[in-house]
Structure 1
Amino acid sequence: MPGIQVFLPKSQVVDGRDKPGHDERNRAMTGEICHHFMREGRLNCWISNDSLVPKTPKDRTEKSAHTGRRKTMIAHRSISFSGMALAASLLAAQHANAQELIFGSWTPAREYQNAQVMPDLFKTIEKETNGQIKWKLVPGGQLADGKTTFTAVKDGLIQGGLAVPTYVPNTVPALFIIYSTVIVGHNDVIATSAAAMETVYFNCPDCLDEVRKLNAVPLGGWTTPAYVLACREPVKSLADLKGKRVRATGGNAEMFKLAGAVPVGATLVEAVSLLQRGGLDCQHGIADWLRTFGYADFAKYVTDAPLGITGPAIGMFLNRDTWNKFTPEQKRLHMKQAAWMSAKMMIGNFIISEEQGLQTVIKDKGVQMIKPDADFEKVTSEYKKGERARNIEVGKNFGLKDPGAIIDAYEKNVEKWRKLSGTVGRDIDKLADLLDKEIYSKVDLSKL
C-alpha cells in the first residue's frame, strides 16, 4: 500500500511546537485527511513538521532509514501545505456528497436529549432520505462545550449542536431576552416551550437575524420546567439563601442577586466539579439534572419551591452552509423532525423523566426535599416586579431597538399555548403534530 506524509510548514513551528489557534486547526484538518485515507484503506499516512522533512534525496533516504518509516516496496509521497489544502477540499467535497454530518453535544451521553431523542431522530432522517443524510452524535463536549458550540457551528467544525443563549448573551441578545423572561405561576412546560419557539420564528426578526450572522439555522427548541434549588446544605429561607453561591444565568442570575445570593455563571457541565470542590453551594435547574448530570452526588438538599421557567434552548443549532445544501424536501424533513424532537423533550424529558428522576435520586442518592419557609416565595415575586424594565434596559444596552416587543410577544404566546397544551395529555406524537401544524409547517424555509 502506498504511503502519504502530510506536514505543516516550518513557519508554523515555534520551539518544536505548533502555534495555537489556527495552526492547531490546520493540524486537526491534517489529521482528518490522514484518518480519512487510512479509513478508506487507500494508503498509509502520518503527520510531521516540514522542519523534520529531509531536503535532499540523500537526506530523505537517511532520515527515512533513521525513523524506520521507509519500508521496502512502499512508495512514499509528501504533500506541501498548499497540497494539503487541495486534499482538504477534496475531502470536504466527499463529505458533502455523502452528507455525513456531526452533531456535537456538550451534555453527557446519558442526558435525555443524547440518550433518548437524537438517536431516533437521526435514524428517521437517514431512513427518510434513503441514506443520503447521515448524522453522527458526538456527546460529552468532545468537540465543543456549551459556549464554543456557537463558533463551532459557525465555522463548520460541527454541523449541529445544542445552543443555550445565556452562555453568550452578547452574541444572541434577542434570544437572551426571551430566556431572561422568567415565567412563574404555573409549570406548563408545553405552553412555554411552544410559545418561545413561536416567538423566535414569527415575532422576533432580531432572533433570526442574529442566528444568520452566526451562519446558523435554529431548528426546534424548548424551555425547561420550573427550576428548583439543589444545595450542599439545606436552604429553606431567605436568610439561608443569603451569600450562597448559586449557578444561575440570564434572568435567574439577577433573581438570585436580588435575593441576596451570589450568582455564578457556570455551564451545566462546569457546575458538577464546582459543586464537588465547594466552588458552588447550590445548583439551580430541573430535578432530572440531579440524575443525568450527577449533581445528586454533591447537592443532597432540594428546596421544594418552583423558581420559574426559562428558555428556549435551541435543540438543533444547524450550520447554515449545511442547511443550504439540503433539498427543499430535506429541509422540510428536518423541520418536521425538529417539532418531534421538541415534543419528545417537553413530555418525555421535562414531564415523565423529571418525575422519575427526582424519585430515583431520593431513593438511590439520599436526596431530601426541604419544605421552605413562607418568605422563600419572595425569591420570584420580588424579581418579577422589576423584570420587564431590567430586561428592556439590558436589551437596549445590547443594541436591540425594541426588546419590549419581544417580551410582550412571548408572554402573549404563553397564554395562547396555555389553552392548547391541555389537549395533548402526555402523547408525544400528538404534541409533535400540534407543534408542526401551529408552528413548524408555517415557517418559510426559503427565508429562515
Structure 2
Amino acid sequence: MKLSNTFKTTVASIGLAASLAATAATGETLNYAIGFPPGGAASDGVNEFNELLSSEGDIKLKVFELSLLNLKETPPGVRDGLADAGYVLTAYYPAEFSEMNLASEMSMLSTIGTPTPSAGAVMTGVIAEYVMLRCPECQVQFKRENQVFLGGVGTSEYINLCTSPIRSTADLQGKKIRSSIASMGRWAESLGATKVTLPGNDIYEAMSQGVVDCAMVSAPELGNLQLFDVTKYITTNVPGGTFAAVGALNLNLDTWQGMSPESRARLITMAPHNSAMVTVNYSDNATTDLAKAKDMGIEIIEASQELRDATEAFVKQDLEVIKENFANDYGVENIEEKTATIIDLIEKWKGLTAEVYDDKAALAQLYEDEIFSKISVDSYYMD
C-alpha cells in the first residue's frame, strides 16, 4: 500500500519524517503516535501508562498527541517507521486487518443477551485473547503490515450524538449518521437512516456544517474530539456495542525485533496496564462527560423500548451478514468456526470482567493472567 499524497504532505509539514524514519527507538525511548488531542480518555490513559512504564526500567514512550500522525495516518505510519509505536485503529483498513476486524465487528453482541457493566472491558479481553492466542491469521496480517500487536482497548458503549433528537425509530428516517463500524452503519440503514463514513478527526466539522445529523461514537468522544460544542442531543442505549478495532500499543516490527529481550519482556508484562487504563478511562469518562453534557444544556434521551428492541433484533440478524461479508469480501476462511470462537469469548469475558471492570489494577491483572502471561518473549513476532 502506497502512502497517499495527503499523508506524505502531513508528515513533511511537521518536519519529522526524515528523523523518525531514519531512527528507531533510541535508548529504548519509543516515539508513540496517538491521533487524539491531549486531555481525553485515550490520551490520558496512554500517558498514565507511560508514567508506570518508565517508573521502573529504561524503556519509555515519547507520546505525540495529534502532532505526529492523525488517526487514519497512524497504521501506515507505524508500518513505515514514522513512529516506533502507535494507537492503531484497524477499522480504517478493513482488508489489511480483516481477521481482527471480524472480532471487532461483532462487538454489538456484547450489549445484548447476558448483561455486562462494561462492554469495553469485555471486548478488550475478547480482542486480545483472540488476536494473541486464538488467531494466527491475525498475526500474519499484522506482520504483513510490519507491526506487532500488544493489546487493544474497548470504548464505552456507542451512543448517538446529534444535532436533532432521536427518540424512536421514526426519528431516524432520513437522518445522516456517521459510522466507523460497518455493522453499526447497517444498523442505521436498517432503520431508515443514511450511513456516512468519515474519520473521527472530521466529525466536528461534519456536524457543525450539517454534513451529518448524528455521530455514532462513545460518550468520551465528546471530550476526546471536542464534540460538546456541536452536540445538541444525545440518545443513549443505541446502537450499543463498542469500538474495539484498536491496537493500543502496536509496535513497528523492525523496532520490536531490534529491542533487547528485556525490553520486549517488559512491554509484554506492562501492556495489559495500557489496555486497562484506557478502557477504564472510557468507562469513567462516559459517566462524567454525559453529566457535563447535561449541565451544558444538551438533552440526554434514553432510547425508547421500541428502538432498543429493533436494535437487538438487528444485531441477531446481522451476524449472518458479517459472516458473509468477511468470507466473500476479504477472503476470511473458516468463518463459522471463527465467529463461534468469538461468541464464546464474548460470553467468557462478560463473566470475567463483571466484578473488576472499573478497577484498573485488577483488570490489568486479569488480562495478564488470561492472555499476556502466555506470550513468549523469545518467539512473539520474532520469526
Q: TM-score, normalised by structure 2?
A: 0.88
Are 1:179 and 1:251, in contact at CA under 8 Å, matched by a contact in 2? no
The equivalences for 1:212-251 within 5 A come to 212-249=143-180, 250-251=182-183
The equivalences for 1:257-406 within 5 A come to 257-310=189-242, 311-347=244-280, 349-363=281-295, 365-396=296-327, 397-406=329-338
User: Which of 74, 78, 87 is the equivalent residue of 1:162?
Assistant: 87
1:28 Cα shift? 7.8
Deviation string for 1:8-35 (max 9, x for gaps)?
xxxxxxxxxxxx69997997899777xx
- Aligned counterparts of 2:351 and 2:10: Cα–Cα separation in 1: 50
User: Which of 116, 138, 144 is the equivalent residue of 2:64?
Assistant: 138
C-alpha change, 1:24 and 1:351, in structure 2 (3 Å) is: closer
Q: Secondary structure at the match of 1:266?
A: coil
Are 2:189 and 2:195, in contact at CA under 8 Å, matched by a contact in 1? yes
- Aligned counterparts of 1:354 and 1:23: Cα–Cα separation in 2: 35
Which region of structure 1 is more displaced relative to structure 2, 278-287 or 372-381?
Answer: 372-381
The equivalences for 1:104-183 within 5 A come to 104-114=33-43, 116-130=44-58, 133-140=59-66, 142-181=67-106, 182-183=108-109
Which region of structure 1 is more displaced relative to structure 2, 349-358 or 206-215?
Answer: 349-358
Which region of structure 1 is more displaced relative to structure 2, 418-427 or 331-340?
Answer: 418-427
**Map of 1:99 onto structure 2:** 28
**Map of 1:82 onto structure 2:** none
1:370 Cα shift? 1.8
C-alpha change, 1:211 and 1:26, in structure 2 (3 Å) is: closer
1:235 Cα shift? 1.0
Q: Secondary structure at the match of 1:389?
A: helix
Are 2:222 and 2:228, in contact at CA under 8 Å, matched by a contact in 1? yes
Are 1:255 and 1:379, in contact at CA under 8 Å, matched by a contact in 2? no
- Aligned counterparts of 1:109 and 1:436: Cα–Cα separation in 2: 28
Are 1:223 and 1:309, in contact at CA under 8 Å, matched by a contact in 2? no
Are 1:424 and 1:431, in contact at CA under 8 Å, matched by a contact in 2? yes
Opposite residue 221 of structure 1, the aligned amino acid is: G
Are 2:165 and 2:233, in contact at CA under 8 Å, matched by a contact in 1? yes
**Map of 1:8 onto structure 2:** none
- Aligned counterparts of 1:22 and 1:370: Cα–Cα separation in 2: 39
Opposite residue 38 of structure 2, the aligned amino acid is: A
1:336 Cα shift? 2.0
**Map of 2:126 onto structure 1:** 195
User: Which of 356, 359, 365 is the equivalent residue of 1:424?
Assistant: 356
Structure 1 alignment gaps of length 5 or more: 1-19, 37-87
- Aligned counterparts of 1:25 and 1:232: Cα–Cα separation in 2: 31
- Aligned counterparts of 1:27 and 1:317: Cα–Cα separation in 2: 23
Opposite residue 135 of structure 2, the aligned amino acid is: C
Q: Secondary structure at the match of 2:151?
A: strand
Deviation string for 1:201-260 (max 9, x for gaps)?
122222111111000001121222221112101111111101111111221111111111
Are 1:219 and 1:317, in contact at CA under 8 Å, matched by a contact in 2? yes
Q: TM-score, normalised by structure 1?
A: 0.76
Are 2:16 and 2:68, in contact at CA under 8 Å, matched by a contact in 1? no
C-alpha change, 1:439 and 1:264, in structure 2 (3 Å) is: same
- Aligned counterparts of 1:393 and 1:31: Cα–Cα separation in 2: 42
Are 1:197 and 1:221, in contact at CA under 8 Å, matched by a contact in 2? yes
Q: If you compute each CA radius of gyration, which structure gives the higher value, 1 or 2?
A: 1
Are 1:174 and 1:400, in contact at CA under 8 Å, matched by a contact in 2? yes
Are 1:200 and 1:208, in contact at CA under 8 Å, matched by a contact in 2? yes
Deviation string for 1:253-285 (max 9, x for gaps)?
111111111111112211111001111100111
- Aligned counterparts of 2:145 and 2:356: Cα–Cα separation in 1: 35
C-alpha change, 1:360 and 1:332, in structure 2 (3 Å) is: same
Q: Secondary structure at the match of 1:370?
A: strand
C-alpha change, 1:293 and 1:279, in structure 2 (3 Å) is: same
Opposite residue 240 of structure 1, the aligned amino acid is: D
C-alpha change, 1:324 and 1:381, in structure 2 (3 Å) is: same
Structure 2 alignment gaps of length 5 or more: none
Opposite residue 100 of structure 1, the aligned amino acid is: T
- Aligned counterparts of 2:168 and 2:354: Cα–Cα separation in 1: 34
Q: Secondary structure at the match of 1:98?
A: coil
Q: Secondary structure at the match of 2:200?
A: coil
